[in-house]
Structure 1
Amino acid sequence: MPEGDTVWLTARKLNDALAGRVLTLFDLRVPRFATTDLTGREVLDVTPRGKHLLARIGGGFTLHSHLRMDGSWRVFAAGERWRGGPGHQIRAVLGNSEHTAVGYRLPVLELLRTQDEERVVGHLGPDLLGPDWDPGTAVRNLLADSDRPLGEALLDQRNLAGIGNVYKSELAFLARATPWLPVGELSSGVPERLVATAHRLLEANKNHFDRRTTPGERRAEQRLFVYGRAGRPCLRCGTLIRKAGLDERVTYWCPGCQSGPVGTTAAIN
């Protein structure tokens, strides 16, 4: 699942290529919207909201997409060959005289009225990279269910929007708590520091998510504290990093640095 910084940078690239320009190509390759044609209309902006992308188009339309695990948007110069997957994986094409944006494998793609955007993003908590960021509300949301495991609470986009599996594991490490520790058992002041750290890390990484780092180190082998490092020594204490779960839901932690119970994890996105 893409992190909020990935979605933020994707939105910026789409906005740079499309905003303020008139559509000369508009093709949604999903049955429900296959006959819709918005060519001749101007793209007003492309805005991220948590892990959602909102492309607003003149006439009161919004194209809403979500990348989930495999989706991506690619931007090409007009006339450039598209590279991002086979043609049957293309779900959307938006083009103007200078650029073409192609959406591959988008599991969520819908056209709605801009006035109805709250229907698809209104449930989200404060956006870590958005103008609505409110750390106090984020802390209260996280602590609303004191028995909930920390990892689940961080991934629940209704609490705060933008954290994915990478930051979940990294933030739990930085809080020195396992992802299965109930949030109500976090020491005093830790939830506030955790939320502040989440905001700082996403802000620091939003322009280069492909080289995302939490320790601040840019060497490939030391960019992250625990995520993807199972079986390797902890950068702090040397204990071997462990993991639990399957596929995209793998959770990583350091038994030496993090206190709390260990178990399986379920995520809400």
Structure 2
Amino acid sequence: MPEGDTIWHAAHRLHAALAGRVLTHADLRVPRYATADLTGRAVLDVTPRGKHLLTRIEGGLTLHSHLRMDGAWKVYPTGERPRGGPEHQIRAVLGNEEETAYGYRLPVLELLRTAEEARVVGHLGPDLLGPDWDPEEATRRLLADPSRSLGEALLDQRNLAGIGNVYKSELAFLAAVTPWLPVGELDPEIPPRLMATAHRLLEANKDRPERRTTTARHPRTALHVYGRAGRPCLRCGTPIRKAELGDRVTYWCPGCQHGPTETPSDRPTPRS
């Protein structure tokens, strides 16, 4: 599932292509909205909210999309053949005279009144890349259930919006604790520091072509633990380990990170 910085980048690419321009072609290829006609309306803005994309359209409408695991928005010059996948995977087309955006494999696509956006994003916590970012509130939400594992709490978008599997693993490493450690057992200084680090990393990466959490001392290795199972830790040399839990994967260093390495399987799935 894309992280908040990926969604921010996608939103700004869509905003640059569509905002302030009148739609000359619009096609929502889902049965519920197949007859919706958005042509002749201007796109006002494209706003990211956590992992959600809100395309606001003239007339008080918002096209809400969520990429989940496989979705993507691709932008091409109008008239150019799209190359984001087979045509039958296109769920939405929004085009003007200059550029056209194609939404591929979108598992969530709905047209709603802009005044009703809270129905789809109102549950989200403070957005790491949004104007509402509030580290104190995010910390309070993160610690609300002391028995919950750090990894689950970070992934729950109701606590803070924008963290995915990559940042979950990287943040736990930088805090020197395993993702399975209950948040109630964290040293008091760790949660505020985690919030500051998460904000700093997403801000730094939102405009980069490659996500990086390591420093310049490791120019050939962008991430500390994620995707590095079996490779030596950059700090202590211990082989990085990997655990598959449902549809989520966790990476950690047994040498640098203290805490349990198992978590109950009956916890609720974090909302996105």
Q: Is the 8 A contact 1:244 1:263 kept in 2?
A: no
2:234 match: 235
Normalised to the residue count of structure 2, the TM-score between the two structures is: 0.96
Taking the TM superposition and a 5 Å limit, the aligned residue runs for 1:51-90 are: 51-90=51-90
Q: After the TM superposition, which segments of 4 or more aligned residues of structure 1 sit over 4 Å from their partners?
A: 217-221, 264-267
2: CA distance, partners of 1:246 / 1:194: 23
SS in 2 for 1:207: coil
| Structure 1 residues 118-176: Cα deviation after superposition (integer angstroms, max 9, x where no partner) | 00000000000000000000000000001100000000000000000000000000010
More helix by share: 1
Other-structure match for 2:39: 39
1:219–1:43: structure 2 CA closer, same or farther, 3 Å change rule?
Answer: farther
Q: Secondary structure at the match of 2:13?
A: helix
Q: CA deviation at 1:248?
A: 4.9
Q: Residue 120 of structure 2 aligns with which residue?
A: 120
- Inter-partner Cα distance in structure 1 for 2:178 and 2:217: 25
Cα deviation digits, residues 28-75 of structure 1 (max 9, x gap): 000000010110000000000000000000000000000000000000
The CA deviation at 1:80 is: 1.1
Residues 214 and 80 of structure 1: is their aligned pair in 2 closer, same or farther, counting only changes over 3 Å? same
Question: Structure 1, residues 199-234: CA drift from partner, whole Å, max 9, x if none?
Answer: 0000000012x4100013497751000000000000
Residue 12 of structure 1 is matched in structure 2 by 12
Matched, 1:213 2:219: no
Q: CA deviation at 1:263?
A: 1.4
Query: Residue 93 and residue 159 in structure 1: after superposition, are their counterparts in 2 closer, same or farther (change >3 A)?
Result: same
Instruction: Tell me which amino acid in the other structure corresponds to 1:147.
Output: S
Gaps of 5+ in 2: none
3-state SS in 2 of match to 1:250: strand
Amino acid aligned to 2:186: L
- Aligned amino acid, residue 53 of structure 2: L
Number of residue pairs aligned between Structure 1 and Structure 2: 268
Aligned-residue CA RMSD in angstroms?
1.4
